Structure 1
Amino acid sequence: MARAISPVIGVVLLVACVVLLSATVGAMVLGYEPTQPAAAVAIDGEATADGEITLTLDHGDSLDVRDLSLVVEVDGEPLEKQPTVPAYSQSGFSGFPAGPFNAGTDSEWTRGESASLTIASTTNGPLPEAGSTVTVRVSENGIVIATVEMTVR
């Protein structure tokens, strides 16, 4: 009689394992929330030969600058020291950033508002020259939301 009960116990244990595994996988799938990128934004930019980079939020929802990061390249070569935003003053950049890039102002970057920073000619490079291309990638929480390409005037 013990032999007849063994297959039944095995089947019950196997069904219990499958149910437990299914419940675990289901809980993981239902709890997953993919990172949502920001709504489409359009950012316009201008760069000068003295190292000033000005970005203007032209289209899209307001952005919280505290969630942003910037990567600046001159003719495809990244700056030695990349900017952090918002900031007061930082190594590799001259003076204080303007607009929402300045930590002393409102961190909300609204449509039509400009923000700027200036590359320090003595402590950062490569430096932009007339005719060179400056590219700024703007990321929000690690996701690139805009790439701005400017020809230095």
Structure 2
Amino acid sequence: MLRQLSSDTRGSTVLIGGVLLVGIVVIVAGVVGAAAFDVAESTPSPDHPTMLSLSVTGNVFTLTHEAGAPLHVSNIQLRVSIDGEELRHQPPVPFFSAAGFRPGPSGPFNTAADGTWTVGETAQFELAGTNAPTPTPGARVVVRVYEEETPVAVVRATVR
């Protein structure tokens, strides 16, 4: 006995297919949206760049956070060069005592600080005689600041 499909059930496959297609599109859009928001949160915003200033007097380096988001000092790396030559010992921020530097940096670079460098805060460290090259009056100093391998700022100053 052959059974014939009635006209009532023929349209249900189109309806089920449409619902499944819409469901798949919603799931894919959710995954793509979540990935886009994750990338947007981890990318530095050009609208709010980090602005730092630098002054160097003798062996004392003073960096001031002028504008931008707070920086987590434990994630920061500094690369200091004098007249194009990198320091033998780079400052391992945060620190209290480190090779090539006088003990007790001030501000957020000190291990006793709260660990966040915010706008208006000044961080200071001083080179020891065991580090090289030595800053001399008129020398050009460049400090590159990275946060987890991402360049944050490049500041320049002339030694006074």
With the shorter chain as reference, the TM-score category is 0.7 to 0.9
Determine the C-alpha separation between the residues in 2 that align with 1:75 and 1:94: 21
Task: Please report how far the alpha carbon of residue 101 of structure 1 lies from its aligned counterpart in structure 2 after TM superposition.
Answer: 0.1
Equivalent residue number for residue 138 of structure 1: 145
Determine the C-alpha separation between the residues in 2 that align with 1:46 and 1:36: 29
The structure with higher relative contact order (CA 8 Å, sep 6+) is 1
Equivalent residue number for residue 44 of structure 1: 53
**1:31-89 CA distance string (max 9 Å, x none):** 5854423641110010012x110000001121111111100000010000111111111
Q: What TM-score do you get using the length of structure 2 for normalisation?
A: 0.72
Give matches, 1:8-87, under 5 Å: 30=32, 33-34=38-39, 35-37=42-44, 39-49=48-58, 51-87=59-95
After superposing on structure 2, the runs of 4+ consecutive aligned residues of structure 1 that deviate more than 2 Å are: 29-35
Task: Please report how far the alpha carbon of residue 131 of structure 1 lies from its aligned counterpart in structure 2 after TM superposition.
Answer: 0.3
Determine the C-alpha separation between the residues in 1 that align with 2:101 and 2:131: 7
Q: What TM-score do you get using the length of structure 1 for normalisation?
A: 0.75
The residue type equivalent to 1:143 in the other structure is T
Structure 1, unaligned runs of 5 or more: 1-25
Larger fraction in strand: 1
Calculate percent identity across the aligned residue pairs: 40
The residue type equivalent to 1:92 in the other structure is G
Determine the C-alpha separation between the residues in 1 that align with 2:132 and 2:116: 29
Equivalent residue number for residue 151 of structure 1: 158
Structure 2, unaligned runs of 5 or more: 1-27
Q: 3-state DSSP class of the match of 1:124?
A: coil
CA RMSD of aligned residues (A): 1.7
- The count of residues paired between Structure 1 and Structure 2 equals 124
